[in-house]
Structure 1
Amino acid sequence: MLTTPQPTIDPIALRRAFGTFVTGVTVITTRDSDGTPRGMTANSFTSVSLDPPLLLVCVGKVAASYAAFNASDSFAVNLLHEGQTDVSAVFASKAHDKFSAVSHDRVHTGAPILNGCLTWFDCTVHNRVDAGDHVVLIGAVQAFGTSPSAPLGFCRGRYASVKDPLPPGWLASHSMIVGYLIEADGNILLRSDGKGGWVLPSAKSRKAENELKLEGGDALTLLPDETFLYSVFDVADSDPGYLIYRARLSGASAAFTVPAGFKFFPLADLPYDDIPAREIQALLRRYSRERHDDRFSIYMDSGDGGRLARIDGGSQPWTQSPQDTEQEKP
């Protein structure tokens, strides 16, 4: 009985053929058994199901992080935007500590979420499928977030641009970006955006908290009597909107060990030219003027340029306000 010989597949030619499919660029992250963050770039990502919410990524068995991904019960997928080719390069390298120069946070499972990325998905492992020289991780999405930035594309072994990524009327998120304007000894705390610019520290909850958790596990203790709403505004119609609190750090800035990616700037020396959003520039200029007079206001965005409401007097707990003790909390 004659058999037809199977054709030999050239793996290099096959890789090039696979590479003609235009994809995004992701950084997949997890933690190993001792809690050390691990991550690598990957473009073998796809959605699987909306109900239940599932996605998948493929991890090569020769990858340095393979053992961590194969053993962990959770992972995150961080989709990169067009300005994050440097982040892609870091996680594609064999660098010993890839996370030292990249700001990241914990959201649900504890897998590292890269701050400022296009979109992120925080997942528990739904299933693992052995597939040749890769393992397929099917993740159950526990939390996610997105932004209106343009995605970083990849095709034929090179980065590719994606035009007009956000159709008119498409909203990137229904949530608010919650930022904190934190002062200590006349200095303002800012966070690196990973692209040479500076932004305000952010939080996950819209409710003002006495402790602000920072990326990497550190936390700031804030003075509760000096934490107030400071500004509410949009940057663009497609932006989720900003909710900014002003706050004071409990203790001196000199005694506070600043985590990597954060820095205190004197009010008189704020890096306005390195702050990408002009709205945040304007907010910091207003704060600098109001701190000089020690008289603050609240800004509310509106179609004709916004409104400022002046705040006079100090704060007091709601239950100590005589006219309000018998009324319900608003």
Structure 2
Amino acid sequence: MRDAFGAFLTGVTVVTTVDDAGAPIGFTANSFTSVSLDPPLLLVCLAKTSRNYATLTGAKGFGVNILSEGQKEVSNTFARPVEDRFAAVDWRPGPHGSPVFADVAAWFDCATHEVVDAGDHVILIGRVEGFDNSGKTGLGYARGGYFTPALAEKSLLASAESLLLGAVAVRNGELLLIDDGKGGWTLPFVEKAEGDGMEALEHHIAQTVGLTLTTGLLYSVYEDTKTGQQHVVYRAELGDGTARSGRFFPVQAPPVAEIADGAVRDIVTRFAQESTLGNFGVYFGNQEKGRVHAVAAKG
């Protein structure tokens, strides 16, 4: 059962509070989720056998530090019986009093809202009294091992023999589309040469469109089974200036009927839908069928 639960990809957090003497305590946890925006609520699950059980359930509040992709050692430190865990991190009291860490993807300082009995665990529901969002990418965890989007993307870029890099490139609520040479529109793509990384896409946009491109998170990975080419598409932001080629369209009103490539049409349509909520997934599959994996919004 534990291994089956471990198939679910999660982020990694360190949950913190202070004891009656004011000393900080904390432990690594991946059983975390957002609950509500209004009121702002989140939850973590705590084993009744945890040595922190009495302190956490009796505290006025607790903090949740979402670790960034470079903080694997912080996770390991707070998962082990280390005498002074907090000596290994840069931390300070949050606005509600729980320890919050530097360099995390985000932190939340919460008042205890409710403690719910749940089998061999309790569910700690916290009301967010303060938070910060650095924009850093979070550290991932699945089946007992860490992963990061950056490492996964490097591996993908290095292993593919025939690969096109593309971008859902936006600016001020508008999406850049490129002439497909057949009287319609498509996303900007560039063929990746051996040894190239993300800079190939950024250089291509600078040369052909005349704008700077800042790539963000992975958005779609699919193989065109007809051509055998792998496509890796990122969300991206375009810089200021006048585009030498292509055309901007409102994100919410793309020219779907003028996009001949079905995979590109699906990407553009999905991006318009997901932009309304700010919750973006990552598609894996081929040009006809696949699955969108949900990921957490950055804020």
TM-score normalized by the length of structure 2: 0.51
1:186-213 Cα offsets, whole Å, 9 max, x none, are: xxxxxxxxxxxxxxxxxxxxxxxxxxxx
1:107 is displaced (CA, Å) by 2.4
| Deviation for aligned residue 1:70 | 1.1
Q: Any residues of structure 2 matched to 1:282-301 within 5 Å, and which?
A: none
Alpha carbon RMSD of aligned pairs, Å? 2.8
Mapping 1:1-330, distance limit 5 Å: 14-162=1-149
Mapped partners of 1:141, 1:54: distance in 2: 6
Measure the CA separation in 1 of the matches of 2:47 and 2:83.
Answer: 19
Separation in 2 of the partners of 1:47 and 1:126?
13
C-alpha separation in 2, matches of 1:117 and 1:59: 21
Superposed CA offset, 1:195-241 (max 9, x none): xxxxxxxxxxxxxxxxxxxxxxxxxxxxxxxxxxxxxxxxx9799xx
Who wins on radius of gyration, i.e. which is larger?
A: 1
* Superimposed CA distance per residue, residues 56-80 of structure 1 (whole angstroms, 9 cap, x where no aligned partner): 0001122222221111011000000
- Secondary structure of the structure 1 residue equivalent to 2:123: strand
- In 2, Cα distance between equivalents of 1:237 and 1:124: 37
Tell me the amino acid that sits aligned with residue 121 of structure 1: F
User: In 2, are the aligned partners of 1:148 and 1:238 still within 8 Å (CA)?
Assistant: no
Following superposition, which runs of at least 4 residues in structure 1 exceed 6 angstroms of deviation? 167-170, 236-239
One-letter code aligned to 1:68: T
Aligned to 1:312: none
Percent identical: 48
Q: Is the 8 A contact 2:33 2:43 kept in 1?
A: yes
Equivalent position of 1:183 in the other structure = none
Flag the 1:54–1:96 CA change in 2: closer, same or farther, 3 A: same
SS in structure 2 of the partner of residue 100 of structure 1 = helix
1:16 is displaced (CA, Å) by 0.5
Distance in 2 (CA, whole Å) between partners of 1:87 and 1:144 is 20
Deviation per CA, 1:252-301: give whole Å up to 9, x if none.
xxxxxxxxxxxxxxxxxxxxxxxxxxxxxxxxxxxxxxxxxxxxxxxxxx
Identify if the C-alpha distance between structure 1 residues 101 and 128 changes in structure 2 by more than 3 Å, giving closer, same or farther: same
Q: 1:238 to 1:116 in 2, by over 3 A?
A: farther
